[in-house]
Amino acid sequence: MKHRARGFLLLAGLGLAGAVSVSSAATQATGIVFDDANENGRFDRDEVGIAGVAVSNGRDVVRADDHGRYRIAVGDDTILFVVKPTGWATPVSEDGIPRFHYIHKPKGSPPGLAYPGVAPTGPLPDSIDFPLRRRFEPSRFDVILFGDTQPRSREEIDLLGHDIIEDLIGTDAAFGITLGDVVHDDLSLFEPLNRAVGRIGVPWYNVHGNHDMNYRSESDAHSDETWERVYGPATYAFEYGPVHFILLDDVIYNGANPADTLPGSYAGGLREDQLDFVRNYLALVPRDDLVVLAMHIPLARPDGFEVPSGYQVPQRRQLFEILSGHPHNFSLSAHMHVQYHQFFGAADGYQASSPHHHLVHATAAGSWWLGALDEVGIPHATMRCGAPNGYSILSFDGNQYSVRFRAARRAANHQMHIIAPNVVAQAKTAKTEVLVNVFAGSKFSTVEMRVGKARRWRRLEPAAREDPHYVASYARDTAAADPDGIQLLPPIPSPHIWVAKLPGRLPRQTHVIEVRTTDMFGQRFSAHRLIRVE
């Protein structure tokens, strides 16, 4: 008896060059993907294999045969993993970290790392088996999305708990994803952070970020040794419902100088083995299914404000060429501590009728857990675009998706703030600007306002302006020294501010400014502000 997983084919690896190529290795790993009916993690005699499940070594992708058996090449530093198929679940740790991989590192991690890596795994086992269990997965589901959580201490893990985690406990979301910079350089915080996030109560997947590296590594190849010990592969894929998720480590570390105590430099990028993995996996995916890519560093540098040239993925054109065969796609990153949307088309190498949508997501840590404390001791942590720290809910329905941003500890409808003077002279109303910061707005958003219900709606225009609220916060909060020397970043022209002027000759009284916005997904939000005309 056997079970069959959803729609996989066999595809051999393409190309053998690259830092972690294993296809040329003589060693072959074998094993079985099986229905772990009693959930003990072992393949028992009365249990059966699952046909057609994808297994990868980080470059090649093979499928299990009709009995759940697979065979794939391994080298001396290989992580084998199963691509969790729709309708099945992998084991998770007590903190919700999915366990879907096996590390083959006979000699263990190299010496000299500041944080523990992988212990020697010894000879290759005769059979590397992957347990799965049946689970119903609907075509409509939600996912919790965090940008950089980035605590520097256990106290900042506590801030994350009070600011965001507590409101999510009991969620009906299917799982969560953190988009890198899970911690801030101190890799001993991985486990305590996992314990906190795990209290949300859903499986939690993680993307590798530049602050998650072991900076004492002399090369990119070993910069994720501690990550591997805690989380497993840094590039992998899984399915949930009809959606395919591919998580990419897009940070290239240039290595540390052994004689220097400072970390080495890094840049955004993808290796050839990663591109091969994406290509090989997507060859198995039905054309009309939705593909979601999650990474840490954005695909391209933003327009309108300066960032280092390394804050982008030079191989995005190759990635777009691969994605062009799957017109339903979407990608995510964080890293910038700013929230904005990017759209890529033919000029960028993406050949499809609609542009590719890339969301650079807000960070859970906001501005590194900095800023004036509120009445319960939590910093405002506002990002330099004027958006608050927070998270998002990704909603999926078949091959369609939508995103709804949630500001930390705010109501679900807190999606913007309206910036206008408290008092304006009647003769100056027509020259008085109203700014609206729509925290998750994009170029496809519409923003309108009216003053009093009797007046007509008027369209606001996008404007690259610094958020006045953040300008004031920055001036106030940078005066306070941070113990690590980290300060709020200076304001930038926000990518999600709209502006219009008040109507002329408003009566002398208190008025209500009403703003409404509709985003690219058709979601509508509104807000109000009082203004007094004298």
Which residues are bridge partners to 514 per DSSP? 450, 528
Kindly provide the residue ranges of all beta strands, DSSP E only, lying in 353-462, ordered along the sequence: 356-360, 390-397, 400-407, 416-419, 423-424, 433-438, 446-451, 458-459, 461-462
Instruction: Give the C-alpha separation, 29 to 246, whole Å.
Output: 23
Considering only CA atoms, which of 352, 297, 346 is closest in space to residue 323? 352
Do 253 and 176 fall into the same domain?
yes
Instruction: Give the C-alpha separation, 279 to 293, whole Å.
Output: 13
**φ/ψ (deg, to 5) at 402:** -150, 160
Helix axes 316-323, 272-282, angle to 10 degrees: 10
Instruction: Give the C-alpha separation, 280 to 273, whole Å.
Output: 10
Instruction: Give the C-alpha separation, 370 to 374, whole Å.
Output: 11
pLDDT digits (tens, 9 = 90+) for 134-158: 999 999 999 999 999 999 999 999 9
Identify the residue whose tokens are 């916060």.
473
Extract the tokens encoding 503: 């109507």
Considering only CA atoms, which of 381, 379, 404 is closest in space to residue 393? 404
pLDDT digits (tens, 9 = 90+) for 60-91: 999 999 999 999 999 999 999 999 999 999 99
- The strands making up 69-73's β-sheet, listed across from edge to edge, are 69-73, 28-35, 130-134, 88-89
Structural domain count of the chain = 2
Instruction: Give the C-alpha separation, 193 to 1, whole Å.
Output: 42
Residue 5 pLDDT grade (very low, low, confident, very high; cuts 50, 70, 90): low
**Does pLDDT of 485 surpass 80?**
no
Do 515 and 380 fall into the same domain?
no
pTM, 2 dp: 0.93
Do 483 and 503 fall into the same domain?
yes
Do 477 and 368 fall into the same domain?
no
CA distances for 192 relative to 150, 228, 345, angstroms: 12, 16, 42
Do 373 and 319 fall into the same domain?
yes
**φ/ψ (deg, to 5) at 228:** -60, -40
Do 479 and 375 fall into the same domain?
no
Instruction: Give the C-alpha separation, 50 to 472, whole Å.
Output: 59
Residue 17 pLDDT grade (very low, low, confident, very high; cuts 50, 70, 90): very low
Do 390 and 425 fall into the same domain?
no
**Does pLDDT of 392 surpass 70?**
yes
CATH code assigned at 69: 3.60.21.10
Q: Which of 360, 380, 407 is a domain's end point?
A: 407
Radius of gyration (C-alpha) of the chain in whole angstroms: 25
Instruction: Give the C-alpha separation, 234 to 214, whole Å.
Output: 13
Do 99 and 213 fall into the same domain?
yes
Helix (H, G, I), strand (E, B) or coil at 273: helix
Single-letter code of the amino acid located at 338: V
pLDDT at res. 26? 55
Write the CB contacts of 244 (distance below 8 Å, at least 6 apart in sequence). 237, 281, 282, 285, 289, 290, 291, 292
- The strands making up 400-407's β-sheet, listed across from edge to edge, are 204-206, 175-178, 140-146, 390-397, 400-407
pLDDT digits (tens, 9 = 90+) for 175-216: 999 999 999 999 999 999 999 999 999 999 999 999 999 998
Do 141 and 67 fall into the same domain?
yes
Instruction: Give the C-alpha separation, 151 to 404, whole Å.
Output: 24
Task: Decide if 156 contacts 182 (C-beta within 8 A).
Answer: no
pLDDT digits (tens, 9 = 90+) for 306-341: 888 889 999 999 999 999 999 999 999 999 999 999
Q: Which of 407, 433, 457 is a domain's end point?
A: 407
- 524-533 and 423-424 beta bridge pairing: parallel
Lowest mean pLDDT among 141-145, 261-265, 423-427: 261-265
Report CA dihedral (521, 523, 529, 533) to the nearest 10 degrees.
Answer: 70
Domain that holds residue 348: 3-407
Instruction: Give the C-alpha separation, 74 to 30, whole Å.
Output: 10
Considering only CA atoms, which of 229, 245, 251, 261 is closest in space to residue 296? 251
Do 257 and 168 fall into the same domain?
yes
Do 466 and 500 fall into the same domain?
yes
Extract the tokens encoding 453: 């219900």
Helix (H) or strand (E) holding 144, with range, is strand 140-146
Do 133 and 160 fall into the same domain?
yes
Q: Which of 346, 377, 407 is a domain's end point?
A: 407
CATH code assigned at 485: 2.60.40
Task: Decide if 137 contacts 240 (C-beta within 8 A).
Answer: yes
**φ/ψ (deg, to 5) at 427:** -70, -15
